[in-house]
Amino acid sequence: MNNDQTILSVSQLNNQAKFLLEKKFSHVWVEGEIISLHQYRSGHIYFTLKDSTGEISSVLFSHDAQKLPYIPENGQKVTLFGSVSLYSPRGQFQFKVKNIHLSGRGDLWEAYERLKRKLESEGLFDASQKKKIPSYPQKIGVVTSVDGSVIRDIIHVMNRRSPHIHIMLRASMVQGETAVESLIAGIEDINSQSSKVDAIIIGRGGGSMEDLWCFNDERLVRAVANSNIPIISAVGHETDFTLIDFAADMRAPTPSAAAEFLSPVRDDLFQFLDEQEERVLGLIQSYILKKYQFIGMAVISYGFHKPELFFSQQKEKFNNFTTALVNSAQSSVGKFKQKLEIELQKLNILNPMGVLNRGYALVYDDSGTAIQENSPLNKGDSINICFSNRIANTTVNKVKKK
């Protein structure tokens, strides 16, 4: 044996194998037949997935099992989504299941995996391509259906946490033949706006793989990756993965979670300022203490036994200076907090939801375009009236100039 060769312990070998497996196979679809299934009191489900020539130990943990519409059974042929791991204490290779579908949709899985591999090889999903999500956005864009619960959930979260953030809605189809073109148009429209948008949320509720299939379209995936504005993908449930999740700059498990990430609580900002004020005052006090100690040492030194009057005058000047410095620091912090409060009040005034809450409404046509004073409006046109808590669809019966 070569003396320079590294000798690993069993635990080290298992841990290194675990790291490599989880890195390489973090998002995997695998098909097979369930055998030897057993569900424990904890809710965890252990079983073996096999095909004609091989098998693998699999586990479905209780928190993932609770999200599924059904519990798998022995003998079922299924398609599983999850990750490959290794149980280090026993060196046991296993498949950790996140989602289960009954087989019969093999063509969809194959198309999904084929396109994923293609785009991944082009570097479309590389972490180095991701844009930074802003910590304190002032304006966000939302591409989703105007009729679904997604936009209501996002507005609710934003109003509760950061009512000063402005929301730009681009209504889009999120299912069906025209959904891809509609979603791409929404992304391009927000990117083309002259008023800066800090981030975009693309969202819809859960559904089957067929329902979410438009979010696996290559054209949409490339549009997401090419957006100049950071995009958060919030499509489906937590266990649903679409290809735009990998191309987006961030994936959120739900639209509400995306809204929470973009909306820091206003009270937290005030707390941050208070902490910074305490920190600055602490540094000033520490500086003053060091100077006092320096003066004290100088006073008792041999060279300063006689000029007591000089030092008395200098100490008085220094005391006046330190008092003025502390007062100035407190005044600056107070002015900054007051300015922040004024700016927040201005933002609240400009928040369109504030206007809606006072009894006003926004009017959009079926394409999601706001109807303004000079917009064409004719009898028979279908319009949507957006109140603060609901949206009404109606038809124009008569147009009369005011």
Q: Which residue is listed with tokens 């079983």?
A: 47
Residue 277 pLDDT: 85
Please give the helix or strand (H or E) that residue 119 lies within, else none: helix 106-121
**What average pLDDT is seen over the chain?**
84
User: What's CA 383's distance to the chain center, in Å?
Assistant: 32
Neighbours of 187 (CB within 10 A): 23
The CA distances from residue 256 to 145, 153, 233, 284, in Å, are 15, 6, 11, 43
Question: What's the rounded Cα separation, in Å, for the pair 33 and 53?
Answer: 12
User: What's CA 400's distance to the chain center, in Å?
Assistant: 46
Tokens linked to 112: 């999904």
Per mean pLDDT, which range of 11-20, 47-56, 62-71, 301-310 is the poorest?
301-310
Residue 306 pLDDT: 60
Closest to 60 in 3D by CA, of 207, 70, 104, 254? 70
Q: Which residues pair with 78 in a beta bridge?
A: 32, 102
The CA distances from residue 124 to 180, 222, 224, 396, in Å, are 18, 8, 10, 46
- H-only helix segments in 201-351: 218-226, 243-247, 255-262, 266-299, 308-350
110, pLDDT greater than 80: no
Q: Give 127's DSSP letter.
A: G
Question: What's the rounded Cα separation, in Å, for the pair 283 and 291?
Answer: 13
The CA distances from residue 280 to 136, 229, 319, 329, in Å, are 23, 36, 18, 8
Give the pLDDT band of residue 305 (cuts 50, 70, 90): low
Q: Which residue is listed with tokens 């979603």?
A: 183
Residue 105 pLDDT: 47
Question: What's the rounded Cα separation, in Å, for the pair 350 and 392?
Answer: 23
271-302 exposure pattern, b = at least 16 Cβ within 10 A, e = fewer: eeeeeebeeeeeebeeebeeeeeeeeeeeeee
Q: Which residue is listed with tokens 């989504």?
A: 81
User: What's CA 99's distance to the chain center, in Å?
Assistant: 22
Tokens linked to 103: 């087989």
Degrees to nearest 5, angle at CA 46 with 40 and 52: 150
Q: What is the pLDDT of residues 235-290, one digit of tens each?
A: 987 767 889 999 999 999 889 999 999 888 777 777 777 888 888 888 998 888 88
Q: Which residue is listed with tokens 């609240």?
A: 348
Question: What's the rounded Cα separation, in Å, for the pair 286 and 290?
Answer: 6
Q: pTM to 2 decimals? A: 0.48
Give the pLDDT band of residue 191 (cuts 50, 70, 90): very high
The CA distances from residue 103 to 25, 32, 64, 108, 161, in Å, are 21, 9, 19, 11, 43
